[in-house]
Structure 1
Amino acid sequence: MTYRYITTPIYYVNDRPHLGHAYASVHADIMARYLRAAGHQVVLLTGADEHGEKIAKAAMLANEAPRAFAERHARTFEEAWRRLAVEPDLFIRTTAPAHAKVVSNCLTRLFKAGEIYLADYEGLYSVGQERFVTEKELVDGKLPEDKEPPVLRREPNYFFRMEAHRDWVRQLLLDTPDLIQPTQYRNEILKLLEEPIGDLSISRPVDRLDWGIPIPWDAGHVTYVWFDALLSYVSPLGYPEHSTFGDYWPSVRHVIGKDILRTHTLFWLSITHALGIPPYRRLHVSGHLLGSDGRKMSKSLGNGVDPLEAADTYGVDALRYTLIREVSFGFDGIISHAVIEQRLNRDLADNLGNLVARTLAMVIRYRGGSVPAPKVIEASEHALIARASELPGAVLALVEEMKLGRAAERVMEFVTELNGYVASSAPWALAKDSGASDRLDTVLHTLLEGIYSVSNLLSPVMPGKMSELRSLLGVCAAPVWNLRWGEGVKPGSRINEGILFPKRISTDIVERE
């Protein structure tokens, strides 16, 4: 039995889920679904990061207690994933007592080992990122991702000796060039590691911030939110003693955005090394989603796409498909209403939807809606059978590298081939030839079997629509991975007509211009 562990970021719940959250979660969910289909035992983790200064500040502005505020927003994330067909096996909340216990135990171990010390610190502090920053990180007086400039603070903090682990982290990245993907992010961190990275402040005094997990040996401090949140990758597995941790952790793949790259490399690798936890298997780093104006999506710019509204407008599956096809994972790219509409109309309605509609209509027209049995198989069918047989392996190889868009593209190329097969075999002409009845049976069965293969191959991407497609084909609604050709649609079974992807014509003239 093989185990696979996939995590999304543990999302900071100071606001409602946005498209960047959806992008990471949909990618992680699709990877998990593919790996489950291939026979692996998979755990997909997501969750809510509920502590820290930003939560406390947002709760105060909302006139709520931090716990009530975090509870309300954590539920919005759970609901968002349900609506976007993201199905995590675990949803960690950093306010959970079991998680707090793991954090406290890890802090105590590191303190006893001399990895943590108390010192006064004065420096520039980013409230938005909840960390101290250096002058060289600032652009026009602030971090690029922050709205406000950092503030000067002097206070006693407990520090983790992160600098002591710098050489080990650097050597790890040199020895495992595929640890961070795409590789440009590995190179970015290697550049940072050429110079001292300093020690990491891991506490905040309660007279300034009391919303957090208490430092076990000092009630005057609470734990820094990032130390707390990063440990939420191990606490749900029963770290350190539960067998689940031993089974799943060696395979762990973190899916994150590039804005939290440093925390998942400099911070997390140093912490795991100090605790004796093996480093993660892979860190998949996404780029930024850009609005139709080419700038990073933001609420203040008003250039974003609300994922739940988009799902309601275009369909959940069309949105999921667009997120993996339109922007290659690891790179910046534009997602807009026009982009989603184009993918829906061109790829899904005109290509796949048209293939399905034409095929089902011909089976109903020429064979009364009953799946025909194939007769003599010719070269054109053998070519399609060969392609369908090699696709599951090719798709999985791309999924392993988080090239989900390319994996879906390979399947859609097969759809295009099937459409070409319709044109070249001309079933409408065969139907007029009384001597071509056997040939027509073979062509129609080949198309149905090919479409069934597509429904299985794209099920992790579009679970709802592919289940609907299998129902139209009169087969089991559950996807079956790597099923041998000829074991899908059953001769004599009944099919139904339906429009899988209705085209949508937008009236939003401004964006389309």
Structure 2
Amino acid sequence: MTRRYYVTTPIYYVNGAPHIGHAYTSVAADAIARFKRLAGFDVFFLTGTDEHGQKVEQAAEAKGMQPQAFADAVAADFRDMYDTMDISYDDFIRTTEPRHVQAAQALWKKLEENGHIYLGAYEGWYATRDECFYGEEELIDGPDGRKVAPTGAAVEWVKEPSYFFNLSKFGDRLLELYETRPGFIEPASRRNEVKSFVKQGLRDLSVSRTSFNWGIPVPGDPKHVMYVWVDALANYLSTVGYPDETAARWAFWPPNLHLVGKDILRFHAIYWPALLMAADLPLPERVFSHGWWTIEGQKMSKSLGNVVDPRDLVKTFGLDAIRFFLMREMPFGGDSDLSRRAIIMRMNVELANDLGNLAQRTLSQVARNCEGKLPAQGKQTDEDRELLATASLLPDIMHQQIDRQALTDALEEVWKLIRACNAYIDHQAPWKLKKTDPERMADVLRVLADALRIIATVLQPYMPGSMDRMLTQLGVEKGERDFAALDTPLPAGRALPKPEGVFPRYEEPEAS
């Protein structure tokens, strides 16, 4: 039976250029998708861009461009960022594509047919920046004394005809969902925030606009365009062929995991399941909300001029060093700080010293003392068996952690093994055994090579390019790099290429 896995990032809003927050979510989803593929799953990994709404219309106008041309340029910039970060997505959905327009309109018609949409008029405090209406009680005092949205966005009083989705009818069903499926929202702290928000009572949701045109026309009433959140959330359906349930990709529905930033959790954990319930569709398995990065201790913002483009970091430090740092530094689900010093520390201590040095020491001794060929698996001591047993458990332990999105914990498991391997090589001292017991030396080097093979295999989702090079140096061929292949030992006597360091130390350039 085919085991399928459907993972999504949010679709990113095209009113600005990609930044480190976009790269973070994308690398996390990519690591999960790659891990699941190595474990034998048929994976569908979706990302894309959210291209409608008033903000996009305004951003295009400010640049003297048509909204579509503006969206095309920003979508291309996001694709370039994905390519730079080596994101292995299976589909890139754009909400201006005909397939998405058809699916979003089909979802609207289904909601209407099921009696969940009605025409009324909307009055309320609207934040253009957030594309969101806020209740009076949600507003806070801004720096100039005026009321602003809880996000700090400016608000204005808006009155316009609008279609509504009867969200207020779904409060009890949503609370039952959170109770009966506690894993639906993670981490738990975010789940509690969502539950308390729903318990206060939900208002019906305004789902159309007449004050601007840049959006998907409402079926049967083209004076209205769909509110951006109904349009945007439908992307998860449009890419699997909705409403055609005979489409090949429909087999992936419902999604196993929506990865989102905490700023859009409410839309994914309240509006989205309610819309799916109303359309008689199965619900996703989980919505996981991760934290935010500060930059050198400060919140990232355009006004501070500290918005980080991940491509600049890659140019400075290298791709896999940045992918590793993003997944290693912040406990996944929490917040953390991105600083130059922290990146260099991770590169030099964990990549260059711990892992790079371990591989170099092992492989250079195989090259020098075993004619550059992989030694046979020999007699094993208790220490050998203990190290290899720890290594053999690693894929399963990591899989459990990947399934609960504990991406940082999964890396820590690998580093426990790397530290154990470094202690083992120091204790066994194969460079001494060469003179006193060459047979034992070969056995020790084979134990280390087998442990390193497992380490490099499980690290492929995090650092694909570097681990490709490391596996090649270990003599692991292209068809031997998934988890199932670990059950088959590499043949003794396989010639290994000349060892070359995979992780050089980073030295700060001299000030000129």
Give the TM bin, normalised by the shorter chain: over 0.9
Report the CA distance between 1:332 and its aligned residue: 1.1
| Counterpart secondary structure, 1:123 | strand
Residues 443-462 of structure 1 aligned to structure 2 (within 5 Å): 443-462=444-463
For the pair 1:269 / 2:270, whether they are aligned, the reply is no
CA distance in 1, matches of 2:258, 2:447: 40
CA distance in 1, matches of 2:378, 2:391: 19
Partner of 1:282: 286
Partner of 2:505: 503
Match of 2:171 among 154, 163, 166: 166
Conserved in 2, the CA contact under 8 Å of 1:203 and 1:223? yes
Report the CA distance between 1:145 and its aligned residue: 3.2
CA distance in 2, matches of 1:251, 1:14: 27
Deviations 1:294-330 (A, max 9, x none): x332222233432111112111111111111111121
Report the CA distance between 1:495 and its aligned residue: 3.0
CA distance in 2, matches of 1:278, 1:486: 40
Whichever residue aligns with residue 55 of structure 1, its letter is V
Partner of 1:176: 181
Deviations 1:402-422 (A, max 9, x none): 011111110111111111111
Deviations 1:278-299 (A, max 9, x none): 1110011101111212x33222
Match of 1:426 among 429, 432, 435: 429
Report the CA distance between 1:150 and its aligned residue: 0.7
Partner of 1:228: 231
Aligned length: 503
Report the CA distance between 1:457 and its aligned residue: 0.9
Conserved in 2, the CA contact under 8 Å of 1:55 and 1:66? yes
| Counterpart secondary structure, 2:149 | coil
Distance 1:490 1:256, change over 3 A: farther
Partner of 2:56: 55
Whichever residue aligns with residue 124 of structure 1, its letter is W
Partner of 1:356: 359
Whichever residue aligns with residue 167 of structure 1, its letter is D
Distance 1:497 1:54, change over 3 A: same
Report the CA distance between 1:390 and its aligned residue: 1.0
Conserved in 1, the CA contact under 8 Å of 2:392 and 2:454? no
Range that drifts further, 102-111 or 216-225? 102-111
CA distance in 2, matches of 1:489, 1:65: 61
Residues 375-414 of structure 1 aligned to structure 2 (within 5 Å): 375-414=378-417
Whichever residue aligns with residue 342 of structure 2, its letter is V
For the pair 1:310 / 2:313, whether they are aligned, the reply is yes
Whichever residue aligns with residue 115 of structure 1, its letter is H
Whichever residue aligns with residue 219 of structure 2, its letter is P
For the pair 1:145 / 2:147, whether they are aligned, the reply is no
Conserved in 1, the CA contact under 8 Å of 2:106 and 2:243? no
Range that drifts further, 387-396 or 108-117? 108-117
Conserved in 2, the CA contact under 8 Å of 1:474 and 1:496? no
Report the CA distance between 1:471 and its aligned residue: 1.5
For the pair 1:338 / 2:344, whether they are aligned, the reply is no
CA distance in 1, matches of 2:113, 2:15: 34
Distance 1:486 1:224, change over 3 A: closer
CA distance in 2, matches of 1:503, 1:458: 19
Distance 1:376 1:466, change over 3 A: same
Conserved in 2, the CA contact under 8 Å of 1:38 and 1:481? yes
CA distance in 2, matches of 1:220, 1:270: 26
| Counterpart secondary structure, 1:193 | helix
CA distance in 1, matches of 2:496, 2:329: 36
Report the CA distance between 1:246 and its aligned residue: 4.4
Structure 1 runs (4+) deviating above 4 angstroms are none
CA distance in 2, matches of 1:292, 1:41: 39
| Counterpart secondary structure, 1:250 | coil
CA distance in 2, matches of 1:349, 1:299: 34
Seq. identity, %: 38
Deviations 1:312-364 (A, max 9, x none): 21111111111111111211111222222211111101100010111122122
| Counterpart secondary structure, 1:9 | coil
CA distance in 1, matches of 2:367, 2:17: 47
| Counterpart secondary structure, 2:140 | coil
Report the CA distance between 1:484 and its aligned residue: 4.1
Conserved in 2, the CA contact under 8 Å of 1:3 and 1:251? no
Conserved in 2, the CA contact under 8 Å of 1:349 and 1:501? yes
| Counterpart secondary structure, 1:237 | coil
Conserved in 2, the CA contact under 8 Å of 1:292 and 1:303? no
The normalised TM-score by structure 1 is 0.95
Partner of 1:329: 332
Partner of 2:198: 193
Whichever residue aligns with residue 76 of structure 1, its letter is D
Deviations 1:205-238 (A, max 9, x none): 0xx3110100111121111111000000011101
Conserved in 2, the CA contact under 8 Å of 1:452 and 1:489? no
Report the CA distance between 1:485 and its aligned residue: 6.1
CA distance in 1, matches of 2:288, 2:378: 47
Report the CA distance between 1:143 and its aligned residue: 2.7
Partner of 1:99: 100
CA distance in 1, matches of 2:42, 2:4: 5
CA distance in 2, matches of 1:477, 1:339: 34
CA distance in 1, matches of 2:466, 2:326: 16
Partner of 2:375: 372
Whichever residue aligns with residue 169 of structure 2, its letter is A
For the pair 1:441 / 2:442, whether they are aligned, the reply is yes
Residues 15-164 of structure 1 aligned to structure 2 (within 5 Å): 15-140=16-141, 141-146=147-152, 148-164=153-169
Cα-Cα RMSD:
1.7
| Counterpart secondary structure, 2:234 | helix
Report the CA distance between 1:454 and its aligned residue: 0.8
Report the CA distance between 1:151 and its aligned residue: 1.1
CA distance in 2, matches of 1:273, 1:59: 35
CA distance in 1, matches of 2:239, 2:250: 12
Distance 1:493 1:345, change over 3 A: same
Report the CA distance between 1:250 and its aligned residue: 3.2
Structure 1: runs of 5+ lacking an equivalent: none
Report the CA distance between 1:368 and its aligned residue: 3.0
Conserved in 1, the CA contact under 8 Å of 2:402 and 2:410? yes
